């Protein structure tokens, strides 16, 4: 077998778990005897979540203080989100391939149902997109779950060529396209350009990794481009989305209107310098100059208050997660595992790029959360669940070896 | 092997590696660029957004009189301000709020929205010249109760605030309005805080602007996106302006203003137009101004809180007598017989004996023109003492004629009267510490030629066409004017003997301001020192320390011997007793206060005479000089002299009046300002 990081030992956490090392022993790879947990992956993900909670706290504190509410309200809720996410992660990490596959179909169906439901009067419109479902006191964003569902679904379809061939055959690819088309179409109806982009790129990446012939992929890319052009010319986008895209091409055109978020975000991140103003010391953050700062623009808090050092720390932690994910993909015992891990990596990478890119002016303002860091129960839970899936694949692969 | 063959290609997984790595590298590079390379620029942009600089206005200094009585001070008034940014966030751009505010304030909504406009090249007045982020004052001097109504209902008045602001207050009412001047918004380009800051526009407020205004402080605050203040970064306290102590005595000033008002009333009672009047009281020994007034005047309170358009028109309109014009320094009239002290000094300097015998004939002939004595009366032979007392003209005509002939003969005219006049300080501003002072005019050959050159075209056109407009109503006058125009067209540049004769009795083209005449008489009274008068005496800072004392500089000495000066003074001492002012001073207690003075009756064709009285007292040891002019008020003894008598009585407390300055004593020390509450 080939791995992409030969000779490298997995990073493992040593001390804190004390005298009960359930998943491995220091120094030696624990082949087969006990299920291993990828500690570096989990630690990075948890660190991101905690850092995110602090940044959310800093971003929401001034507004809550001004409103005379509990300044830690959002911090507490985000911690609750993280705890729920960690539970989900643990559950998934402990389940096997079989369980994962068994749950894939219901998860996919449920996400699609959720995506349909947000379009009905059950859905809530925030910032021009109908993306949320109100379930009692909870607000759920089905499009977040759709990301994981699509990755697992595509992995299931593409990872098991029925005739045992090396590449997925035509019917499989068509089925995969069909699977992808349903959430893509539903997300487009909200409309949520950011999630659409992430889902489309992730699905494309998985087709590539699955080994689909290049000419098919080229054909698909062409078809996608044609569809995008058609959407533009036929004016299928909402006015606010068109405005955001236009603003991206010329941010100075309308600094008080559509370009306001982008301009404020850039100024806020840039004002941090090397080491930032210090946590809770940012005047742009404290003055609430950046809209949506605790959700889509949480990266600006790190930029202003923690500086270049802080933004690099976040990118480094995310990079560790992705790096470990790719390692899992490379070592997976089955194509299913490889595809699922690679899909998760693609998804998180693209989402990170789109989010940070829109903050620093490399991408249009499309409104996607920063994985693990942004405030939001659905986002945090799904990201941690994805880490759980990676851990499960890793564990399975350890079993097999 | 089968399972291995089914593994996805490592190459394709490598592509994902490359994708992830390159995406992260791009982000890292971009962050390096934004945070490190351009970090300072973005930090500056961020500071521009959340740091605001607020000007803390300094309390303007007071203006007090010689005894420390405040003439101008500050009072706190509620000013209602509106934050444009807050209104802009409302769905209707704050229209409803302005509507409510207009109702509460009882002012038209258009006025409020007008004051909220940002000044631009096309914007009309009123408009706001300051920063659009600053709260803009829309109503000053708002009653406490109205202000409370606004402050207590923030939900009805978002962005509206009522803040206490210092405004000018005039505890003595309209007293000394011309001296004090007024404040107006500073529209000097380049002065940042445009509409907020008021600067002195006239009078002492303008002359001592730099001292009175103090130094504004500033505060840098951090605000949030809604404009709420989060904290103060740094603060520089404002420095209050210095208090200006003047040499004005409020009581004397009141006496003078009352006397002027009554003089104008009396003159009008006699049917004279008496369109304006002015008076000056100088301390002859120091050159300080003790009182100075012009009529008509105005109540400076109209400036407080911005002047309304109709008030402004009333102040500046000629139909209302232009009450803004300080006549004491800007009014110019021919000095008439008060000028004879200059002519006498010039004649004595020219070699005529003061006590010689001269014929005061009924008229004096120069060429084909007969110059008549005032009233055409002959008084017989007399010395110059008597000539001054009875105000004989013909003696001075004869002197003038002789001097003119001398000048014509010599080829290089010495012009002795003009020279003496300039030595007395005429023909040039006195340099008093008030803006806009007029220079007066001492006409001579050079002036006449340049005047003729400037007006020849017009004069010659009038000489040709006559005055058709005037001819329709008054043919005689038109013919007279036409003859003069014809004469002036051809010979207007020639300085004639008649010109010198006219000048010698202060008529014709000579013009003086009341202040110029007062300081000339002060110089005569003090033994020959010509001062540049000053109203300001000292500047005292908020802690009571004297920042600067102001002393009137001596700008020259009269080129007249002490003997001649004392002879002239003696002559003038007889004018109120037995001369031209005897009627006006009938019954005056000269044993208590010997007043010396000279009347003047300036004649102008087609107008009533302008009345002058220039005086000083006590005659033997002069302390004050008092000059009064009543424009078109009648003869000198008729209008101005009685007013001067009233002023002298008022200062010294004679004829049953209360003394404004008992014994005529001025305080030598500066007043104690610490007792006076701000």
DSSP string, B462-511: HHHH--HHHHHH-HHHHHHHHHHHHHHHHHTT---HHHHHHHHTT-TT-B
Q: Do B50 and A289 touch (CB under 8 A)?
A: yes
Residue B14: what are its φ and ψ, rounded to 5°? -60, -35
What number is the average pLDDT over the span A260-276?
Answer: 89
Residue closest to B584 by CA, chosen among B630, B635, B548:
B635
- CA-based nearest distance A301→chain B, Å: 13
Question: In chain A, which residues have their Cβ closer than 8 Å to the Cβ of B20?
Answer: 319, 322-323, 326, 345-346, 349
DSSP SS3 for B276? strand
Q: Which residue of chain A comes nearest to B13, CA vs CA?
A: A209
pLDDT value of residue A26: 43
* Torsion sign, CA atoms B110, B111, B117, B120: positive
Q: Is A161 on the interface with B (CB under 8 A)?
A: yes
The answer to whether residue A167 scores a pLDDT higher than 80 is no
Query: Is A162's pLDDT higher than 70?
Result: no
**Inter-chain CB proximity B8 and A338 less than 8 Å:** yes
Task: Decide if pLDDT at A1 tops 50.
Answer: no
Q: Do A362 and B26 touch (CB under 8 A)?
A: yes
Contact (CB<8Å) A269/B8: no
Q: Is the pLDDT of residue A165 over 80?
A: no
Confidence of residue A17 (pLDDT cuts 50, 70, 90): very low
* pLDDT-based confidence at residue A27 (cuts at 50, 70, 90): very low
Give the nearest chain B residue to A161 (CA atoms). B6
Q: How far is B146 from chain A (nearest CA, A)?
A: 29
Give A337's Cβ-side CA count (13 Å radius): 27
- Residues in B 184-223 with any Cβ partner in A closer than 8 A: 222-223
What's the CA gap between A23 and A34, in Å, rounded?
Answer: 6
pLDDT of residue A275 exceeding 80, the answer is yes
A311 contacts on B by Cβ (under 8 Å) = 31, 35
Confidence class of residue A250 from pLDDT cuts 50, 70 and 90? low
- Would an 8 Å CB–CB cutoff place B229 in contact with chain A? no
Output the pLDDT for position A98: 81
Whether residues A271 and B42 touch (CB distance < 8 A) is answered with yes
Mutate to test the interface with A, among B5, B46, B230, B233 (most CBs of A within 10 A): B46
The DSSP symbol for B336 reads G
- Of A134 and B358, the one with more pLDDT: B358
At residue A287, the pLDDT reads 83
Verify whether the Cβ–Cβ distance B16 to A266 is below 8 Å. Answer: no
- B474-492: average pLDDT: 86
Instruction: Report pTM.
Output: 0.72
**Tell me: the pLDDT tens digits for B356-401?**
999 999 999 998 888 988 878 899 999 999 999 999 999 999 999 9
A 222-281: CB under 8 A from B: 266-274
Q: State whether B39 and A271 contact (CB < 8 Å).
A: yes
Which of B1, B13, B26 would you mutate first to test chain A, the one with the most A CBs within 10 A?
Answer: B13
Flag whether pLDDT at B565 surpasses 90: yes
Q: Average the pLDDT over A161-167 and give the result.
A: 67
Q: Kindly report the CA angle at B216 between B215 and B217, in degrees rounded to 5?
A: 115
The string of pLDDT tens digits covering residues B275-303 is 999 999 999 999 999 999 999 998 888 77
Q: Which of residues 1-40 of A touch B (CB under 8 A)?
A: 1-2, 4
Query: What are B610-669's pLDDT values in tens digits?
Result: 999 999 999 999 999 999 999 999 998 999 999 999 999 999 999 999 999 998 888 888
**A352: which chain B residues are within 8 Å (Cβ-Cβ)?**
23-24, 27
Nearest CA in chain A to B7: A335
Residue B15: list chain A partners with CB under 8 A. Answer: 208-209
Least-confidence region, from A112-116, A348-352, B254-258, B649-653: A112-116
Q: How far is A16 from chain B (nearest CA, A)?
A: 31
Using alpha carbons only, how large is chain B's radius of gyration in Å? Answer: 35
Which structure tokens are listed for B541?
């800072």
How far is CA B368 from its chain centroid?
45
Query: Which tokens in the block code for residue B225?
Result: 């996106």
Q: Is A303 on the interface with B (CB under 8 A)?
A: yes
The model's confidence at residue B305, banded by pLDDT at 50, 70 and 90, is: low
């Amino acid at each position: 077998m080939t791995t992409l990081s030969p000779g490298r030992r997995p990073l493992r956490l040593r001390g804190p778990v004390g005298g009960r090392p359930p998943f491995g022993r220091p120094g030696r790879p624990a082949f087969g005897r006990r299920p291993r947990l990828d500690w570096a992956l989990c630690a990075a993900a948890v660190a991101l979540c905690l850092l995110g909670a602090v940044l959310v706290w800093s971003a929401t504190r001034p507004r809550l203080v001004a409103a005379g509410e509990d300044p830690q309200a959002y911090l507490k809720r985000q911690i609750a989100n993280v705890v729920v996410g960690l539970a989900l992660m643990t559950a998934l990490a402990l389940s096997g391939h079989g369980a994962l596959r068994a749950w894939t179909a219901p998860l996919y169906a449920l996400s699609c149902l959720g995506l349909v439901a947000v379009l009905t009067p059950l859905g809530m419109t925030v910032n021009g997109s109908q993306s949320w479902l109100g379930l009692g006191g909870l607000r759920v964003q089905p499009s977040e779950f759709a990301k994981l569902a699509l990755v697992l679904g595509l992995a299931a379809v593409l990872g098991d060529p029925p005739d045992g061939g090396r590449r997925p055959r035509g019917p499989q690819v068509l089925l995969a396209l069909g699977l992808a088309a349903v959430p893509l179409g539903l997300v487009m109806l909200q409309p949520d350009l950011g999630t659409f982009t992430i889902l489309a790129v992730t699905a494309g990446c998985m087709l590539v990794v699955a080994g689909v012939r290049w000419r098919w992929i080229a054909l698909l890319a062409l078809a996608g481009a044609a569809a995008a052009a058609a959407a533009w010319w036929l004016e299928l986008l909402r006015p606010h989305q068109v405005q955001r895209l236009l603003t991206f091409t010329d941010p100075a055109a309308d600094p008080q209107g559509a370009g306001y978020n982008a301009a404020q975000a850039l100024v806020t991140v840039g004002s941090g310098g090397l080491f930032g103003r210090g946590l809770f010391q940012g005047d742009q953050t404290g003055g609430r100059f950046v809209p949506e700062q605790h959700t889509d623009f949480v990266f600006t808090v790190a930029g202003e208050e923690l500086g270049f050092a802080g933004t690099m720390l976040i990118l480094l932690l995310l990079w560790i997660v992705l790096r470990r994910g790719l390692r899992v993909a490379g070592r997976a015992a089955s194509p299913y595992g490889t595809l699922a891990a690679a899909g998760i990596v693609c998804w998180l990478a693209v989402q990170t790029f789109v989010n940070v890119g829109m903050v620093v002016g490399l991408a249009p303002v499309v409104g996607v959360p920063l994985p693990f860091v942004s405030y939001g129960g659905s986002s945090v839970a799904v990201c941690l669940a994805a880490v759980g899936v990676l851990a499960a694949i890793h564990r399975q692969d350890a079993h097999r070896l | 092997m089968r399972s291995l063959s089914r593994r996805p290609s490592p190459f394709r997984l490598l592509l994902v590696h490359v994708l992830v790595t390159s995406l992260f590298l791009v982000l890292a590079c971009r962050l390096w660029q934004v945070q490190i390379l351009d970090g300072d620029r973005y930090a500056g942009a961020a500071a521009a957004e959340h740091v605001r600089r607020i000007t803390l206005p300094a309390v303007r200094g007071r203006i007090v009189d010689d005894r420390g009585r405040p003439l101008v001070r500050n009072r706190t008034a509620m000013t209602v301000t509106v934050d444009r940014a807050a209104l802009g966030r409302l769905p209707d751009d704050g229209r409803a709020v302005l509507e409510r505010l207009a109702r509460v304030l009882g002012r038209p909504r258009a006025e409020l929205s007008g004051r909220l406009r940002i000044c631009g090249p096309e914007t009309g007045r009123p408009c706001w010249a300051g920063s659009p982020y600053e709260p803009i004052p829309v109503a000053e001097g708002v009653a406490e109760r109205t202000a409370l109504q606004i402050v207590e209902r923030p939900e009805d008045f978002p962005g509206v605030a009522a803040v206490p602001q210092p405004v000018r207050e005039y505890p003595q009412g309209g007293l000394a309005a011309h001296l004090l001047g007024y404040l107006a918004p500073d529209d000097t380009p380049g002065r940042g805080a445009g509409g907020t800051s008021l600067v002195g526009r006239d009078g002492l407020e303008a002359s001592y602007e730099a001292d009175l205004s103090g130094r504004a402080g500033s505060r840098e605050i951090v605000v949030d996106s809604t404009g709420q203040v989060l904290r103060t970064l740094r603060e520089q306290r404002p420095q209050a302006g210095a208090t200006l102590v003047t040499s004005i005595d409020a009581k004397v000033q009141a006496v003078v203003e009352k006397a002027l008002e009554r003089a104008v009333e009396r003159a009008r009672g006699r049917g004279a137009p008496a369109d304006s009047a002015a008076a000056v009281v100088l301390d002859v020994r120091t050159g300080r101004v003790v009182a100075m007034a012009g009529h008509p005047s105005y109540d400076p309170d109209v400036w407080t809180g911005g002047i309304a358009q109709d008030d402004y028109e009333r102040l500046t309109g000629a139909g209302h007598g232009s009450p803004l014009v300080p006549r004491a320094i800007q009014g110019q009239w021919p000095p008439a017989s008060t000028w004879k002290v200059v002519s006498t000094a010039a004649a004595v300097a020219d070699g005529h004996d003061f006590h010689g015998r001269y014929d005061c004939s009924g008229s004096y002939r120069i060429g084909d023109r007969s110059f008549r004595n005032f009233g055409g009366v002959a008084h017989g032979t007399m010395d110059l003492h008597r000539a001054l007392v009875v105000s004989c003209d013909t003696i001075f005509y004869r002197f003038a004629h002789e001097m003119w002939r001398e000048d014509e003969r010599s080829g290089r005219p010495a012009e002795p009267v003009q020279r003496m006049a300039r030595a007395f300080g005429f023909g040039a501003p006195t340099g008093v510490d008030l803006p806009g002072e007029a220079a007066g005019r001492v006409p001579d050959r050079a002036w006449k030629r340049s005047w003729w050159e400037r007006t020849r075209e017009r004069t010659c056109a009038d000489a040709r066409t006559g005055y058709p407009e005037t001819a329709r109503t008054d043919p005689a006058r038109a013919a007279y004017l036409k003859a003069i125009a014809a004469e002036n067209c051809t010979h207007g540049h020639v300085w004639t003997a008649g010109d010198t004769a006219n000048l010698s009795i202060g008529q014709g083209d000579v013009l003086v301001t009341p202040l110029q005449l007062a300081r000339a008489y002060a110089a005569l009274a003090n033994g020959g020192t010509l001062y540049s008068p000053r109203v300001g005496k000292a500047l005292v800072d908020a802690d009571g320390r004297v920042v600067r004392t102001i002393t009137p500089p001596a700008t020259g000495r009269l080129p007249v011997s002490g003997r001649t000066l004392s002879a002239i003074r003696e002559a003038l001492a007889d004018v109120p007793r037995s001369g031209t002012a005897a009627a006006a001073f009938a019954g005056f207690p000269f044993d208590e206060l010997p007043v010396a003075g000279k009347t003047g009756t300036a004649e102008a064709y087609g107008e009533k005479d302008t009345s002058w009285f220039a005086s000083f007292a006590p005659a033997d040891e002069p302390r004050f000089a008092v000059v009064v002019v009543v424009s078109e008020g009648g003869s000198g003894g008729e209008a101005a002299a009685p007013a001067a008598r009233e002023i002298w009585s008022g200062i010294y407390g004679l004829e049953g009046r209360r003394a404004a300055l008992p014994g005529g004593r001025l305080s030598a020390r500066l007043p104690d300002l610490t007792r006076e509450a701000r």
